[in-house]
C-alpha cells in the first residue's frame, strides 16, 4: 500500500508554513527564556538563540533536500530507508518508528505541561488540586505532596491533549485553515511583545558587551551547549512539513520554501523578543521568573494587560500542540503502510481521509506522559533521543546519497558544508 494514495494533497505553501511556525514557537521560548538567561548570566544568552537558529538553517538544508525528493507521509521514516538502501535502511526506519512512539508523545506532553505551568499565572492550579482532593476523607500518606502540588496542573495538561485530538479529528483542508488562524495569533502576539518594549528599551541592559576570556572560555562553551539545548527545543518543528509530504501541494517547491521561511521568520522574532525582554527587565529578574512574558507586560502596561498577554501565550501553546500531533500522526501511518508497523495504524478515516488510529494512539500516549513527567526532563529527553537516530543519521545519509546518486529537485547551497556543520553542532549539543 502506498503511503500517499489515501491522503489528500491539499495544503498550500501558506498553510504548510503556518503549520511549521506554530509547531516551532509553542510554549517553548516562553518557558526556556529564563533558563537560558540564567545559564548564560545575562545578555550573552543571545548566543544560544543564534546557535539554535544557525543549526536550524544548516539542518533545514538537509530536510529540504530530502523533503523535496521524497514528499511522502512519515518524513524521516521514508528518508532513512532511501538514504540507507537495503536491510540497514529498513532497520533504521523501524527503530525510528518505535522511537517516535515514545518521543512524539513526549513532545505532546511538553506542550501540554508547559501550558499548565504558564496557566498558573492566571489560576492557582495547585490550590484547586489540593482543594478537590483534600475534600476526600482519605490518608494520602506519601502521596500527599503529589496531591497538593501536581494534581491541578496534571488535570489541565491531560485535558488539553484530549481537546487537541478532538480538533484534529477533521479533514486536512479544515486543519490547514485552522493552522493559519493559529499562526495569526502566534505571530501577532510576538509582534505585540516586540513593539511594546520599544519606548522603554535600554540597549546597554539588553546587548552583550565583553566576551568571557582566560579560564572562563571553556566554561562559557560548556554552558553555551546546555543553553543551546534549551534554545534548540524552541526551534524544533522546522521540519514538520516533511511529515506531511503527501498532503502538500507542489512539494518539490513548497517544502523547502516552508522550511526556510519558517526558520527565518522565527529567528527574527526570537532574537527581537529576547532583546526587548532584557531591554526592559533586569536579567536577574528574568532568570528567576516562571512567567517572563507576563511580568514583561505587567511592567510595561498593567496587571490586566499581563493577563491578556498570558492568555495569548496559552493560545500559542495550543497551536503548537495542534501542529505536533498533526505531523507525528503520519509517521506510524507511513510505517504501517510499508509493513514495518502494526497494520491497524495504516487505516485512514473513510470520510475525513486522515490516519485516525495513529492520531488517537499518539494522543492517548501524550495524555499519559503529560501526567507522568516534568517539563525539564521532557525537553532533554526529546532532543537527546533524536540527535543520533534522526538528525545526525540523516546528515550522514545525505552526504552518502550525494556520492551515490545525482539529480535532486532542490540542492543545498555550498554542499556539503550545511550537512557537516549540522552534524558538528548536534554532536556539540549532545556531548554538552
pLDDT tens digits, 116-144: 888 888 876 555 444 444 444 444 344 44
Q: How many CA atoms lie within 13 A of 125 on its CB side?
A: 19
Taking each helix axis as running N to C, give the angle between helix 87-119 and helix 28-40, from 0 to 180 degrees, rounded to the nearest 10.
90
Q: Are 235 and 266 in contact (CB under 8 A)?
A: yes
Distance CA 67, CA 75 (A): 7
- pLDDT, tens digit, for every residue of 266-280? 999 999 999 999 999
Query: 301 is written with which cell numbers?
Result: 502596561
Mean pLDDT, all residues of the chain:
85
Name the nearest CA neighbour of 152 among 189, 124, 126.
Answer: 126
Distance CA 396, CA 68 (A): 18
SS (H, E, C) 351-366: CCCCCHHHHHHHHHHH
| pLDDT at site 2 | 41
pLDDT band of 150, cuts 50, 70, 90: low
pLDDT above 70 coverage of the chain, percent = 88
Q: Are 48 and 311 in contact (CB under 8 A)?
A: no
Per DSSP, 198 falls in state S
Mean pLDDT of 289-295: 90
Name the nearest CA neighbour of 391 among 232, 273, 153, 167.
Answer: 232
Q: Is the pLDDT confidence value at 211 over 70?
A: no
Name the nearest CA neighbour of 24 among 140, 113, 141, 111.
Answer: 111
Q: Is the pLDDT confidence value at 67 over 90?
A: yes
| pLDDT at site 238 | 93
* Phi/psi at 244 (5° precision): -105, 25
| pLDDT at site 172 | 82
Distance CA 312, CA 319 (A): 11
Q: Which residue(s) pair with 73 in the sheet?
A: 244
Q: Are 156 and 125 in contact (CB under 8 A)?
A: yes
Mean pLDDT of 65-94: 90
| pLDDT at site 375 | 65
Q: Is the pLDDT confidence value at 87 over 70?
A: yes
SS (H, E, C) 277-330: HHHHCCHHHHHHCCCHHHHHHHHHCCHHHHHHHHHHHHHHHHHHHHHHHHHHCH
Mean pLDDT of 168-179: 87
Mean pLDDT of 22-50: 87
| pLDDT at site 254 | 96
- pLDDT, tens digit, for every residue of 356-376? 999 999 999 999 888 887 766
Of 210 and 186, more confident: 186
Distance CA 15, CA 9 (A): 12
Name the nearest CA neighbour of 13 among 299, 254, 281.
Answer: 254
Query: 205 is written with which cell numbers?
Result: 541592559
Mean pLDDT of 147-167: 78
Q: Of the spans 50-64, 73-87, 222-236, 318-332, which averages the highest pLDDT?
A: 50-64
| pLDDT at site 130 | 47
Distance CA 408, CA 88 (A): 23
pLDDT band of 377, cuts 50, 70, 90: low
pLDDT band of 221, cuts 50, 70, 90: low
* Helix, strand or coil, per DSSP, at residue 247: helix
Q: Is the pLDDT confidence value at 293 over 50?
A: yes
Q: Is the pLDDT confidence value at 245 over 70?
A: yes
pLDDT band of 108, cuts 50, 70, 90: confident
Query: 252 is written with which cell numbers?
Result: 518539490
pLDDT above 90 coverage of the chain, percent = 42
| pLDDT at site 175 | 85
| pLDDT at site 110 | 81
Between 59-63, 94-98, 309-313, the lowest mean confidence (pLDDT) is in 94-98
Amino acid at each position: 500500500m502506498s503511503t500517499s494514495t489515501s491522503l489528500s494533497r491539499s495544503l498550500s505553501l501558506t498553510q504548510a508554513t503556518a503549520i511549521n511556525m506554530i509547531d516551532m514557537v509553542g510554549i517553548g521560548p516562553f518557558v526556556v527564556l529564563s533558563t537560558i538567561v540564567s545559564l548564560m548570566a545575562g545578555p550573552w544568552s543571545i548566543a544560544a538563540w543564534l546557535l539554535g537558529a544557525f543549526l536550524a538553517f544548516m539542518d533545514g538544508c538537509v530536510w529540504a533536500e530530502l523533503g523535496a525528493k521524497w514528499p511522502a507521509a512519515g518524513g524521516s521514516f521514508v528518508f532513512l530507508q532511501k538514504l540507507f538502501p537495503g536491510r540497514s535502511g529498513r532497520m533504521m526506519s523501524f527503530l525510528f518508528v518505535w522511537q517516535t512512539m515514545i518521543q512524539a508523545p513526549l513532545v505532546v506532553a511538553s506542550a501540554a505541561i508547559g501550558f499548565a505551568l504558564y496557566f498558573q499565572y492566571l489560576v492557582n492550579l495547585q490550590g484547586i488540586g489540593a482543594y478537590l482532593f483534600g475534600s476526600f476523607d482519605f490518608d494520602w500518606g506519601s502521596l500527599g505532596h503529589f496531591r497538593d502540588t501536581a494534581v491541578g496542573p496534571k488535570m489541565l495538561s491531560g485535558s488539553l491533549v484530549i481537546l487537541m485530538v478532538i480538533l484534529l479529528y477533521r479533514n486536512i483542508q479544515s486543519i490547514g485553515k485552522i493552522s493559519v488562524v493559529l499562526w495569526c495569533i502566534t505571530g501577532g502576539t510576538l509582534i505585540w511583545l516586540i513593539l511594546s518594549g520599544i519606548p522603554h528599551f535600554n540597549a546597554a541592559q539588553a546587548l552583550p558587551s565583553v566576551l568571557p576570556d582566560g579560564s572562563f572560555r571553556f566554561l562559557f562553551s560548556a554552558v553555551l551547549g546546555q543553553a543551546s539545548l534549551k534554545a534548540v527545543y524552541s526551534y524544533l518543528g522546522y521540519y514538520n512539513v516533511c511529515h506531511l509530504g503527501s498532503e502538500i501541494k507542489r512539494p518539490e517547491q513548497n517544502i523547502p520554501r516552508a522550511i526556510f521561511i519558517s526558520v527565518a521568520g522565527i529567528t527574527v522574532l526570537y532574537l527581537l523578543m529576547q532583546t526587548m525582554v532584557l531591554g526592559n527587565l533586569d536579567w536577574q529578574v528574568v532568570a528567576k521568573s516562571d512567567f517572563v512574558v507576563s511580568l514583561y507586560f505587567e511592567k510595561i502596561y498593567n496587571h490586566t494587560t499581563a493577563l491578556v498577554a498570558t492568555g495569548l501565550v496559552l493560545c500559542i501553546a495550543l497551536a503548537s500542540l495542534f501542529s505536533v500531533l498533526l505531523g507525528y500522526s503520519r509517521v506510524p501511518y507511513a510505517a504501517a503502510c510499508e509493513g514495518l508497523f502494526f497494520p491497524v495504524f495504516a487505516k485512514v478515516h473513510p470520510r475525513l481521509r486522515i490516519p485516525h488510529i495513529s492520531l488517537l494512539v499518539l494522543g492517548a500516549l501524550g495524555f499519559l506522559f503529560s501526567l507522568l513527567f516534568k517539563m525539564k526532563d521532557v525537553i532533554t529527553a526529546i532532543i537527546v533521543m533524536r540527535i543520533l537516530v534522526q538528525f545526525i543519521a540523516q546528515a550522514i545519509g545525505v552526504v552518502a546519497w550525494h556520492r551515490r546518486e545525482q539529480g535532486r529537485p532542490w540542492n543545498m547551497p555550498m554542499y556539503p558544508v550545511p550537512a557537516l556543520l549540522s552534524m558538528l553542532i548536534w554532536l556539540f549539543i549532545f556531548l554538552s
